[in-house]
Structure 1
Amino acid sequence: MLKPIQHPKLKLPKINHGFFTREGGVSKGIYNSLNCGIGSRDFPEAVEENRKRAMHFFNLNNDSLVTSWQTHSNIALKIETQKYQSKDLKCDALVTNKPDIALGILTADCAPILLANYKCGVIAAAHAGWRGALSGIIESTIGLMAELGANPENTNAVIGPTIGPKSYEVGNEFRNLFIENNDNNAFFFKKSSQTNFWMFDLPSYIIKRLENTGVRVASSLGLDTYAHQNKFFSYRRNCHKGYKDYGRLLSSIVLEL
């Protein structure tokens, strides 16, 4: 059985979760080995087997996993059944209060955020790249959870493996987008060794946005996808190596009966 990474702040009553690494699957080559991305160019049967192995960790079948067609948006959707096709769910966050539905997020540098409010039985999984984080995916997710009765103050949020501040080099134009949004965002950029370039701290930026919504428990695993090739897929690392595709990591959370 796979052993995903877990965080103490999400080890809550009747809630299970896992940030899966790239290890323990059947995919080959650049997808080696637990590639769970339907949108990749990997063999579909390999992806299906990988997702099946991940669901086995939760003692669920493959049909229990719900993932979306992620578009770097600020759209969050409520999930009430397992019977969805990923292509029919164009959004970047999934929220539910139904048991035995494994909400899944697929990433390869962007931040997977798993959220839980065990007091009212509401969970969520969000995909936050820079564009989604800047445009409000975090606020949309917390807002939809609140509609189901989840008070932000009692909601725990954990950021999984994400490109880290020592690996995320960006240019002036990128930084300016954040400064134009809020002058205080300058805090999340440190000067790079290269002129006119900056190192961006995406996890810290997300934690600040979470805290601004009223979430009191917001943490990060602190694991850099770019820096740990044997553990995690990385879109940026593969681009730098000249590869035309990349594997996707699965992060998932489920309410248990």
Structure 2
Amino acid sequence: MTTHLEFVSVRKSRGDFTLTLPDVSIKQGEILGVIGNNGAGKSTMMQLVLGLITTTEGEIRRYHDGVHIDEVGVWKEEAGFVFDDLLMYDDMKLKRLGKFLNEQYKHWDQQRYLEMLALYNVDPNKKIKKLSRGMKMKAGFAMALAHRPKLILLDEPTAGLDTKSRREMVRLLKEAQSEGTTIIFSSHILSDMEELAETVWLMDEGAVLAHGRVGELKERFSKNANGRIVPKEEGNGEMISLEDLHDYYLGGELD
């Protein structure tokens, strides 16, 4: 697998907060799940990847199909993203917004966009300001996938969605990955993370406390007689879950 993103000595300072990222590569077609408490730095990391903000130190190297892309603007044409709000023109109807985005993305597929809105029962003739938070997330997801991007970044994409909509979103993400799309997403819903993520980052207070393939991280630990998560050699051999990993790194188990 070719490299899609490469983090090299990345630090970002914002006031009293500093985000420090490990020197790692994300492969093309990989699904990376980012887990962290509020304020961990998940959104800041995604903004750095998209080039919305710049690093204080280090660099993020971006590639498409193994080719290094120096210009972030060129690279972003092949990226889709969904943040926790739809930051678009409030008075614009979704159908018109699709036509506007058609002018921004050379691979925009208006039919696919409208089909996904229909799948989620989102009225394309509604103005953005008339949409609920959940409907905005659904519309944002349709926008992110409509131009068949090589990379998708999603910041809490399933927040506020009903179970049926979440299942449909998971299905579409799996479909996108099968076509070679790289996916980076954060979520507090660990069942979604368990189903989708191949690799995970566990983040807290601007640091990545652990990262790697989900199965390999789980194999490092087990539970003792009291149900506490401990190193594998000290446990009873019971397989732990992603939720257990979350509790160990982010829920105070390390104290």
TM-score (norm 1): 0.29
Q: Which has the larger radius of gyration?
A: 2
Structure holding more helix per residue: 2
